Amino acid sequence: MKIRKVAIVGLFLESNRYAAVVERNRFRVLRGDAIVEDARSSSPKLLKEGQGFFAQMDIEGDWEAIPIALVLGGAGGPAEHDFIIHEIEKIGRELKAQTPLDGVYILNHGAMTTPEEEDPDGLLYETVRLAVGAGVPVVSTVDLHANISQRMVDSADVIISYLTDPHADQYDRGKEAAAILHEMFNGMCPTVSNIRIPIVPPNVSLLTANGPYGDLIDYGQSQLGAEILNVSIVAGFAYSDTSVNGLHVLVAARENELAAATLCKRIAEMAWSMRERFLWGLVPLENAVAKAVEVGHDDKSPPVLLADLGDNVGAGGPGNTLWLTKALHQAKATGVVIGSFFDPELVIAATSAGVGSSIQAKFNGDGWEGTESTYVVDNVLVQYLHPGEFYISTGPLSGMRVNAGPMCLLRFEGIQILVTSRRPIVWPDPELLETMGINVASIRTLVLKCRSNYRAVYNKYFDPEMMIEVDTPGRTSPVLSRHDWKRIPRPSYPLDLDFDWQP
Ligand SMILES: [Zn+2]
């Protein structure tokens, strides 16, 4: 049997236009053999879809991985323009040097921007296609918060999006990419239909366990079969603010163009008819704080988890707004753990004071919209110092290594706060908290700067009804009408409520 040469390339950043530019030193770039080693490692730094892809390719038959580059940035603001353009051009040159190739796998978030280019993902796809030529299978996986451009659709054969939010199926989507690639090696020619629906849903409305988005995805999956190869319903990332933002339906059929087009239109009509279900209510800050005070006084009541939505690190939040911390402190809430707060200066101050000492802590927060950006608290106990590297112990990312830089756990009155120094973290692993002496099961209120990805990890400690989505101000507030958008096409629901549309 022929040994297939398949190149691996990746670009990963979710860009929030309100967050600071992500400079080159914040990207992690893996090249060559480091990609292969990591994809087959038991504690990878790489994305889970890469692991799934390698595992399935190994099952499908003899192949040679041609690892080019993975440029991984997580979530933040727009990427440093020159750096990304340089990386994309380099990927193009290296792919070209490896031709002829049998296929390419692109692992991609799909919501990157730079200050000068609103669609670097599309540029990557186009570069890949130009390098390898027409007729070479190109398959990609994207986050379901990707903004899909026509350039991406035209350059790839099949774009496969995650199906779950919180994201739990990256590994399976990587496997699916490998399986589709092999079908194409055996002669299958996919045909894709795609429609952009003018709905820019707030991210809080996108959980897939239930709700409108879950219903749409479930319907799409029920249509898979001999004719329909893949249905990807990609909600997009509103905060990127691009001219392609919107809910995007992609249907790939095996050969049958009409089947793809018919199903794509049907799903688009369905989505539009349920648009009102994407409107979403949040809990006002005062009510969330009152709830925290209440459960602090009553050990018998179930604990609460407050999701600080205005500073959602997973959507580019800086991880250091202070509204919720200040309000909880001033209301004298007890049994509170804030995990986490990003503040390199504060970690240095706590480290030089040492464990057991009492300091005056200056919290350096985000000065969003000209608000007060620091908060000074006296008599803060330095409870624990941690070097910063830890492994995720549970949930879909279990085994992954995280390095948030030196960290400290501080305590003042009823509040414990985990402070990181190298980067903000989306949620602290429960085992990490236990290491620092926090009994997770006895926390009364846990504050996370995260929208939903904590759920798979913290659902054994908190009832779903006690996971409260708090309406805090900030760069990642899901109340989209509060932001000043420049590029999102208008009208788009729910920014505009009164208009009609047909696919
Ligand atoms: Zn996502």
CA of 452 to the centre of ligand 1 (A): 10
Decide: 66 and 421 in contact? Cβ < 8 Å: no
Residue 482 pLDDT grade (very low, low, confident, very high; cuts 50, 70, 90): confident
Residue 148 CB partners (closer than 8 Å, separation 6+): 110, 142, 159, 194, 196, 234, 236, 244, 248, 250
Q: Cα separation of 444 and 233, whole Å? A: 37
Q: How far is the CA of 111 from the centre of ligand 1 (A)?
A: 9
Closest listed residue to residue 5, CA positions, set 140, 109, 97, 86: 97
**What is the 385 CA–ligand 1 centroid distance (Å)?**
31
What pLDDT is attached to residue 401? 84
CA–centroid distance, residue 208 to ligand 1 (Å)? 12
Q: What is the pLDDT of residue 464?
A: 93
Quote the ligand 1 centre to 468 CA distance (angstroms): 20
Distance 348 CA to ligand 1 centre (A): 32
Specify the residue for token string 């050969």: 255
pLDDT in tens, 292-314: 999 999 999 999 999 999 999 98
Task: For residues 175 and 249, give the distance between their C-alpha atoms in angstroms, rounded to a whole number.
Answer: 21
Q: Residue 439: exposed, middle, or buried by beta-carbon count in 10 A (0-12, 13-18, 19+)? A: exposed
Q: Where residue 62 falls among pLDDT bands split at 50, 70, 90?
A: very high
Distance from the alpha carbon of residue 98 to the mean position of ligand 1, in angstroms? 32
Give 167 Cα–ligand 1 centroid separation in angstroms.
Answer: 7
Q: Do 420 and 404 touch, CB atoms closer than 8 A?
A: yes
CA of residue 277 to ligand 1 center, whole Å: 20
| pLDDT value at 370 more than 70 | no
3-state secondary structure 303-367: CEEEEEHHHCHHHCCCCCCCHHHHHHHHCCCCCEEEEEEECHHHHHHHHHHCCCCEEEEEEECCC
Mean pLDDT for 413-433 is: 94
Mean pLDDT, rounded, for 407-423: 97
Q: How far is the CA of 206 from the centre of ligand 1 (A)?
A: 10
Check residue 397 and report its DSSP letter. T
The domains found in the chain, sorted by start residue, are 4-278 (3.40.50.10350), 283-477 (no CATH)
* CA dist 236 → 79, 89, 253 (Å): 18, 25, 22
CA of residue 87 to ligand 1 center, whole Å: 23
237 Cα to the center of ligand 1, angstroms = 8
Rounded distance, CA 126 to CA 138, Å? 11
pLDDT in tens, 242-263: 999 999 999 999 989 999 999 9
Is 57 in a helix, a strand, or coil? helix
Instruction: Kindly tell me if the per-residue pLDDT of 176 is higher than 80.
Output: yes
How far does residue 283's CA lie from ligand 1's centre (Å)? 22
Collect residues with CB below 5 Å from ion ligand 1. 143, 145
pLDDT in tens, 323-344: 999 999 999 999 999 999 999 9
Q: d(Cα 160, Cα 442) in Å, to the nearest integer?
A: 41
The pTM of this model reads 0.87
